[in-house]
Structure 1
């Protein structure tokens, strides 16, 4: 079996790290009864600067609307969210966190922050900045390729998750 080249190894490492990171977070959030499918939409709503409609949330999570509706039905049934008719568009619904979810989101943010600190503790600030710079350039190139060379639109998820709203 031939050895993999650095470029292949890089891709495997990026994917493997993302998977491991998510698995650690999922395991740590399990006592709250939250899987990735449940905690990610809650965090996006928690960090949003404005109330999100179902379609905005689907775009931010990069999932199809019917998939989101089923997820929201479960989150609503379990007391994590409520849906309120949007005053500007009676066909749309804002997704709103319940007090239970707001408290859970504070706990989730603590878990995310602690996990991030623990994982990144092996790298110095300068190393981390260099790594981020390289990853941002590679991501930008991949986005341009995905959009056939045109400047890519910013992902709603990237925009919403850049800095937690409550940390501003």
Structure 2
């Protein structure tokens, strides 16, 4: 039986939910040798990919997590010496965070391992499908934006 377009969208969203859970579990195992979890990896990634210091709310927004969730993970990373906190000249109560040399080194090692994994994934995916998936996910993301974003 052929599904309606809304039913296909529903199936796609359900697949995203299932995939997210599986990626988090996989990511926890993937970064465990580096002493991290998926949640902490996301925070390091946000800082590494920004190429500039960020506040906890900026990190949260870039990774689609709550400000409180980002703050909790950043505090843990600060305690472990992977992230440094600096005064923010624009907002006294929202310090800027950036990777320390140790954080940069660990993130680079994870990125190296990830790139090898991404190459393996490419064996089963063609570029047109990857680009189509990016477009669909971007549309779903935009259609579900809140006024707070």
Q: Which runs of 5+ in 1 are unaligned?
A: 149-154, 156-168
When you count strand as a share of all residues, which structure comes out higher?
1
Hey, what does 2:129 align to over in structure 1?
131
Q: How far is the alpha carbon of 1:53 from its aligned partner?
A: 1.6
User: 2:93 is paired with a residue of what secondary structure?
Assistant: strand
Q: TM-score, normalised by structure 2?
A: 0.77
Number of aligned positions between the proteins: 144
- CA change 1:96–1:113 in 2 (3 A) is same
Residues in 2 aligned to 1:65 and 1:140: alpha-carbon distance in whole angstroms: 22
Supply the distance in 2 between the matched residues of 1:131 and 1:38 (Cα, whole angstroms).
29
TM-score, normalization by structure 1? 0.69
Higher relative contact order (CA 8 A, sep 6+): 1
Change (3 A) 1:67 1:4: farther
Distance in 1 between residues matched to 2:122 and 2:72, nearest whole Å: 35
Which contiguous aligned blocks of 4+ residues in structure 1 show a shift greater than 6 angstroms? none
**SS of match in other structure, 2:86:** strand
- Report the aligned-residue RMSD: 2.9
- CA distance in structure 2 between the aligned counterparts of 1:144 and 1:66, rounded to whole angstroms: 23
